[in-house]
Structure 1
Amino acid sequence: MRVALLTWDYPPAPSGLSTAAREIAESLAEAGADVTVFTLDRVGRERVEGVTVAGIGLPPDGGLARLRRWGSAGHVAAPLAFRHAILADHARAPFDVVEATNWYAPAALLTGRRDLPLVTRSSTPAAFSRPPAGSLRDDLDGRAADALERRQARGSAGLIANTVEHGAVIARAYGLSGRQPEAVIGLSLPPEIAAAARGALYPEDEGPVRLLFVGRAEARKGFDALLAAVAILAEEARRGGVPAFVLDLVGVPATDLPADIPEAARACIRARGRMPAEDLADAYAKAHAVLAPSRYESFGLVYQEALAYGRPVVACAQDASARRFVGGPGAGPLAKEATGPALADVVRPLLADPALRRTYRTNALAAAGRFSREVLARETLDLYARAIAAAQAHGSARPHSR
């Protein structure tokens, strides 16, 4: 099967979407598929781990790059670039199927083709991560992005969600009919992460308790609750009420920190920004616990990475994936809600009790490794086959040329 996979970026870019794209691409390649990844974060073509990576980055002085800087209309620039690149390759050697994320709808202009069925694998919708619109322009810009995501999802020949709960959220968000072939498929972890995790001993040395956050400084990730909890606990640590601790923020540069963080909290925080995979592995290995208080995750790769390292995970019960992957196996405590006091209440015992941390570690290790590349590829190829059959049975809304 010849597969085109659309992604905004690809490793070594250290984003969650990038990591997911690599796992999908390499798992399919290992299963015998001919996979070409189209990505906007580079230019040129190379072969990486059995996958063809085609960089289609927009020239900064080109028309599409200029269009991308416009408000609402700018959201069609990337879909236009992806459409042109995909159809050019498709004309030379036809693809059987194309897969894309829903996030900002890179494949919105590739829907409804009988000769090139589109499968959308849904991450979190862009609307879930945006702050409230501060102006009419921001509101129109967000509405345009949401409309493109709905168009792509509704026009897809097949749909993939990471969990059952996530699939239901996506169906409501995009008003889906339920008539498209769909599947629930979890994501695997990169082999090097799994290997590094297996060899990572749990830190037992004296000194501050090391906490780790991996993500972006946004409300969906519970970052506001995290900072509020740190302020509470840092003041308690200053007075000797809880042990000293430090919090590493991976993916968060210092410029993303609010100016009004209390001095005691600021002294505990190390904003480390984005980092390469080997440095992230070191951060996980040195952490006593991982704080991931997201209000919503489509799957939660950070949960899976933390479990692989056997690190207790502090998550939020508001997130269905946290309830399933963290709370279910007892891999860490769940805050009742994403607020500073609620999060501080569940972190406080972890700071004070090494035995409790070791218990959560044991449970985390037992829960790790449930998702493999073999399963990811097998279930994805099965959904592809059903999507192709559905597209051929129903035809397209209008004829297309290659």
Structure 2
Amino acid sequence: MMRTALIAWDYPPSPSGLSTAAREIAESLVMQGCDVTVFTGDRSGTGVTNGVRVVGCEIPQRSRLGRMRRYAALGHLAAPLRFRDAVLAAHAETPFDVVEATNWYAPAVLLAGRTGLPLVTRNSTPAAWSREAAQSPRNRFDSWAADRLERRQAAGSAALISNTAEHGRRIETLYALAAARGGRQQAHETIGLSLASSVLERAARAAYPRGAGPLSILFVGRAEPRKGFHELVEAVGLLAPLVERAELPDFRVALLGVPEADLPANLDPATRRHLNPLGRQPDGVLFDLYEAAHFVAAPSRYESFGLVYQEAIAFGRPVVASAEDPSARAFIGKTGAGLLAERTDAPSIAQQLRRLLQSEELRSQVRRQALEAAGTFTRATLGEQTVALYRKAIANAAASSRLDGSTQ
């Protein structure tokens, strides 16, 4: 039985994309007969959930590591130190065969390159692709440190996983991995995430909304530049006058993950009427919103896992996405499960929103294409491909160890 350690920033019931990804990875590995322990930073204590042992690695604010977190650059090492100590303590009792972690803020950087415990990094969106462009000198230094740690973790991994081939190519370039690995073996493969069977079952039963009333559009994510949130709000502002002149049907945009405080301060009343900020909500609310939605707005500049696309497709909900995002081109463009804005800007997004708002026939056509693409995101595939990649990582680490020994 393969014994796996999985490092996660958070884990369900915490509602986040990284949390959902961690659950899918962990439970797909259990289905393959693996012994899986998740080390998560969002709680303390231990427990077992659906066959997965969950170990809390929360850092108390008043602890030494908690105080360390307050310092620019240095603070990024607090969580890696906590995860390293927890994983190595468990490894000393019963050895793990492999450890996996996300690249985002490098939680496993202090486990990279360790003999006898190969590390696999599954690439989410790098920190550099999520932050604001304008930063203070302190924050620029802090960001530089985070980027260096991510690169070091990636370079020290025995294997890497990316969600799409284009994602993998961009990761290779960002972290300069060809130069970093030299002649050392390092597998880098494309493995897509799955959706839980409960999600797929709920989605299969979801009827498309009918009846009078405003059309419902769903946005899932934070109010950040990468998600195209501000451009979406601007696009709604462009469409609002058309609704007032009865040139478009009325609509509301449910903003899951966006609290009221994150709406633009200077938002005009006509635009605000179309926005419904909901803040963070549990999975049950998310699925209720998918079921109630006529279509989904996901104009991200970059999505690593593409879970929003996958969930929308499973529910048969058309998606308005951005052609700037390689995952959108793969999940939405190739399947016809939605419409792609040429760019992540307000006019391009508004144009595609308007097309779906105006035409019930187009919504029905794209919905049919989404349903045809649904059902391909299974845990069986995720688990099989991940275990095969783990075996390569273990072999690569053993080969590197023998090579190091022969040159000493």
TM-score higher than 0.5 = yes
Q: 1:307 aligns with which of 300, 309, 313?
A: 313
Deviation >3 Å, runs of 4+: 396-399
Aligned identity (percent) is 55
1:290 aligns with 2:296: yes
Contact (CA 8 Å) 1:113, 1:396: kept in 2 or not?
no
Write the mapping of 1:165-180 to structure 2, written as runs, cut at 5 A: 165-177=166-178, 179-180=185-186
Partner of 2:245: 239
RMSD: 1.3
Separation of aligned partners in 2, 1:60 and 1:83: 19
Separation of aligned partners in 2, 1:256 and 1:292: 17
Q: Deviations over 1:236-263 (max 9, x none)?
A: 1112111100000001111111111121
Q: 1:219 aligns with which of 208, 222, 225?
A: 225
Q: 1:210 aligns with which of 216, 219, 223?
A: 216
Separation of aligned partners in 1, 2:106 and 2:225: 22
Contact (CA 8 Å) 1:5, 1:38: kept in 2 or not?
yes
User: Secondary structure of 1:271's partner?
Assistant: strand
Pairwise CA distance, 1:69: 1.5
Separation of aligned partners in 2, 1:374 and 1:134: 43
Partner of 2:111: 110
Partner of 2:46: 45
Separation of aligned partners in 2, 1:239 and 1:376: 49
Contact (CA 8 Å) 1:306, 1:312: kept in 2 or not?
yes
Partner of 1:163: 164
1:25 aligns with 2:22: no
Q: TM-score, normalised by structure 2?
A: 0.96
Pairwise CA distance, 1:280: 0.6
User: Secondary structure of 1:259's partner?
Assistant: coil
1:191 aligns with 2:192: no
1:391 aligns with 2:392: no
Separation of aligned partners in 2, 1:126 and 1:396: 34
User: Secondary structure of 2:111's partner?
Assistant: coil
Contact (CA 8 Å) 1:114, 1:396: kept in 2 or not?
no
Count of residues in Structure 1 that have an aligned counterpart in Structure 2: 399
Pairwise CA distance, 1:388: 0.5
Gaps of 5+ in 2: none
Separation of aligned partners in 2, 1:77 and 1:270: 37
1:381 aligns with 2:382: no
Contact (CA 8 Å) 1:23, 1:190: kept in 2 or not?
yes
Separation of aligned partners in 1, 2:216 and 2:12: 27
The one-letter amino acid of 1:324's match is A
Pairwise CA distance, 1:133: 3.9
Separation of aligned partners in 2, 1:396 and 1:310: 51
Contact (CA 8 Å) 2:310, 2:377: kept in 1 or not?
no
Pairwise CA distance, 1:385: 0.6
The one-letter amino acid of 1:369's match is G
Separation of aligned partners in 2, 1:75 and 1:90: 23
> Which range moved further: 366-375 or 87-96?
366-375
Q: Deviations over 1:95-117 (max 9, x none)?
A: 00000000000000001112100
Partner of 2:324: 318
1:181 aligns with 2:187: yes
1:278 aligns with 2:284: yes
Contact (CA 8 Å) 2:196, 2:378: kept in 1 or not?
no
Separation of aligned partners in 1, 2:371 and 2:212: 23
The one-letter amino acid of 2:358's match is A
User: Secondary structure of 1:5's partner?
Assistant: strand
Separation of aligned partners in 2, 1:397 and 1:7: 31
Q: Deviations over 1:117-171 (max 9, x none)?
A: 0000000101100002421101000000000000000000111111100000100
Partner of 2:207: 201
User: Secondary structure of 2:37's partner?
Assistant: strand
Gaps of 5+ in 1: none
Write the mapping of 1:89-128 to structure 2, written as runs, cut at 5 A: 89-128=90-129
Separation of aligned partners in 2, 1:186 and 1:36: 21
Separation of aligned partners in 2, 1:369 and 1:160: 22
Contact (CA 8 Å) 1:254, 1:271: kept in 2 or not?
yes
Q: TM-score, normalised by structure 1?
A: 0.97
User: Secondary structure of 1:203's partner?
Assistant: coil
